[in-house]
Amino acid sequence: MCQATARSLRRAISRGWQERLPRPSPAPAAPQRCSPARTPGTAPARGLASMAPSVRFSPAVRSLFDEPLAIAVQGLGPRQQVTLRTSLQDETGELFQACARYRAGDDGELDLARCPALPGGSFSGLEPMGLLWALQPQKPFWRLVKRDVRTPLPLQLEVFEGHGDPPGQLLAQAQHERVFLRDGVRRVPVREGKIRATLFLPPGSGPFPGIIDLYGTGGGLPEYRACLLANYGFAVLALAFYGYEDLPKDMKEFHLEYFEEAVNYMLQHTQVKGPGIGLLGISKGGDLCLSMASFLKGITATALINGSVANVGAVLRYKDITIPPLSFSAKRVKVNKSGIADIFDVLSNPLEGPDRQSFIPLEKAECRFLFIVGQDDRNWKSEFFAVEGSKRLQAHGKEKPEIVCYPGAGHYIEPPFFPMCAASMHLLVGMPVVWGGEPKAHCEAQIDAWQQILAFFRKHLSGKPSGISNKM
């Protein structure tokens, strides 16, 4: 059912970002060998090291969060065993950490692009970005969210002697900044009419292809995905829809006129290239984007990340139309011994009985669709939703949507190198829920999905939309 799965993923990983991985420094004269030592536990030969151990990053000081970061350690002893640990502190002070065990090459060099991690750490094998994607919160059920995109996330790397637990002597450490805004990208708070949003504009005079970006039931105004998109030449409006300033405090009902006002704001903006715009939404933001595309004019391309084709969680109103939320049964919640809920089976089937009224009439849309699907999504049945959406479009003579499925990917498919969130608090459920995903597969899915989304909008935002929606 999925048009692209592991094949496109492997292609993206092998030919894409790893080819763009910067080298920490010019390669040493002698070739580096990072195969495991024949005799485990070999003591470090410090006397042969020509300098004190030091960490090298490339880029050296700061890098964009969604771009690869090359990491190397120099000045170690030949085949010296070391443990590398990364630490990242979010804006609330919560700590994320990952560690990996390595053995330096014969020349005392350790390049993560060429040296595989040994068993016993957060990951093993050749994983140049493993120390970033494997970061895990020290506080249970905590998810990494960047709140102020104008400031970097500081990353610390420490190098310890040996493979002990706890780690041995600290040999070297270094700091690096992971930033979200490319130089020249403009951040413009928007408080026009009822709209509560932030607009990100690329450098230059424009106009630029426009996108509205929506997140899910967490509410507020997440900006990090929108600004990362703007780094690639899009004018992106991060739009809040509840739980922010004077917007509704909870998810009871939404009026599509609010979202229509945001669409018209973008269509009429001098820096936004017409004649239509794109929509990007994850989770609840996905079905809101689907409703916008189905009822509003001026939408050319819509991308959903693990979205539903049924209205979920709140009544949706537009003019004289009311779409009820899909029903659910709390009895279908499964709670494990750790107190974590699995809500995969909670929602009812939108193809059956009264719940058919909740199915969003996406056949009314005049745009192209992209469904990004994590096949291990435990929030709800994302693949089922994508397939049923495709069936409905084709049954009405519409273009078949693009569906890209990722085995081992969970619910929160974020921009590249965000650590996978396995479980966190769900505001509607009121307890921690499992989101699904296997860390390495999820990381690879995020890298590929990001490229799929960028390519989708680049391809379709130059097409002709269905017109400009009238303000109510």
> How many CB atoms are closer than 10 A to CB 462?
13
Instruction: Report yes or no: 93 and 112 within 8 Å, Cβ to Cβ.
Output: no
- What is d(CA 266, CA 447) in angstroms, rounded to the nearest whole number? 28
Q: CA-based Rg of the chain, rounded to a whole angstrom?
A: 24
110 and 195 co-located in one domain: no
Provide the residue type at 362 as one letter: L
- Asked if 377 is an active-site residue, the reply is yes
Same domain flag for 87 and 155: yes
Spatial separation of the C-alpha atoms in residues 44 and 31, rounded to whole Å:
20
DSSP 471: P
Domain membership of residue 15 (yes or no) is no
CB 316 within 8 A of CB 276: no
Q: Do residues 127 and 222 share a domain?
A: no
Give one DSSP letter per residue of 217-257, joined into a string: TT-S---HHHHHHHTTT-EEEEE--SSSTTS-SSSSEEEHH
Domain boundary among 162, 179, 196: 179
Question: Which of these, 179, 178, 182, 161, lies nearest to 170 by C-alpha position?
Answer: 161
Q: Which of 70, 230, 225, 223 is nearest to 147 (CA)?
A: 223
> What domain range includes position 312?
186-460
Catalytic residue among 377, 382, 442, 460: 377
pLDDT tens-place values along the chain, 472 residues long: 566 554 555 454 444 445 556 655 444 434 444 433 333 333 343 444 457 999 999 999 999 999 999 999 999 999 999 999 999 999 999 999 999 999 999 999 999 999 999 999 999 999 999 999 999 999 999 999 999 999 999 999 999 999 998 889 999 999 999 999 999 999 999 999 999 999 999 999 889 999 999 999 999 999 999 999 999 999 999 999 999 999 999 999 999 999 999 999 999 999 999 899 999 999 999 999 999 999 999 999 999 999 999 999 999 999 999 999 999 999 999 999 889 999 999 999 999 999 999 999 999 999 999 999 999 999 999 999 999 999 999 999 999 999 999 999 999 999 999 999 999 988 888 899 999 999 999 999 999 999 999 999 999 997 444 444 433 3
User: For residue 428, what pLDDT is reported?
Assistant: 82
pLDDT of residue 370: 98
Q: How is the chain split among helix, strand and coil, in percent rounded to 5?
A: 20, 30, 50
Asked whether residue 25 is domain-assigned, the answer is no
Domain's final residue, options 115, 146, 179? 179
Residues 114, 101: Cα–Cα separation, whole Å: 14
Contact between residue 400 and residue 3 where contact means Cβ atoms under 8 Å apart = no
pTM of the shown model: 0.89
Nearest to 176 by CA among 331, 37, 56, 295: 56
Q: What is the model's pLDDT at position 18?
A: 52
Query: Choosing from 411, 426, 442, 460, which is the catalytic residue?
Result: 411
- CATH classification of the domain holding 210: 3.40.50.1820
217 shares a domain with 134: no
Lookup: tokens for 263: 């669409």
What does the alpha-carbon distance between residue 96 and residue 156 come to, in Å, rounded to a whole number? 11
Report how far residue 77's alpha carbon sits from residue 108's, in angstroms, rounded to the nearest whole number.
5
CB count within 10 Å of CB 385 equals 26
The answer on 382 and 342 residing in a single domain is yes
Q: How far is CA 336 from CA 320, 354, 422, 433, in A?
A: 43, 31, 14, 10
Check if 283 is active-site: yes
| Beta strand pairing call for 341-342 and 197-201 | unpaired
Q: Is 287 a catalytic residue?
A: no
- Retrieve residue 120's tokens: 């016993």
**404 contact partners, CB below 8 Å, separation of at least 6:** 2, 3, 4, 5, 8, 370, 371, 372, 373, 448, 449, 452
| Domain assignment of residue 24, yes or no | no
Under a CB-based contact definition with an 8 Å cutoff, are residues 76 and 32 in contact? no
The total number of structural domains that make up the chain:
2
Contact 108, 48 (CB under 8 A): yes
The verdict on 262 and 287 lying in the same domain is: yes
In terms of Cα–Cα distance, which of 229, 234, 237 is closest to 197?
237
Q: Is residue 16 part of a domain?
A: no
C-alpha atoms less than 13 angstroms from C-alpha of 358 in its C-beta half-sphere = 24
Helix axes 256-267, 284-295, angle to 10 degrees: 70
Q: Which of 283, 308, 358, 390 is catalytic?
A: 283
> What integer pLDDT is reported at residue 41 of this predicted model?
34
Q: Confirm whether 399 is domain-assigned.
A: yes
Domain harbouring 111, CATH code: 2.60.40.2240
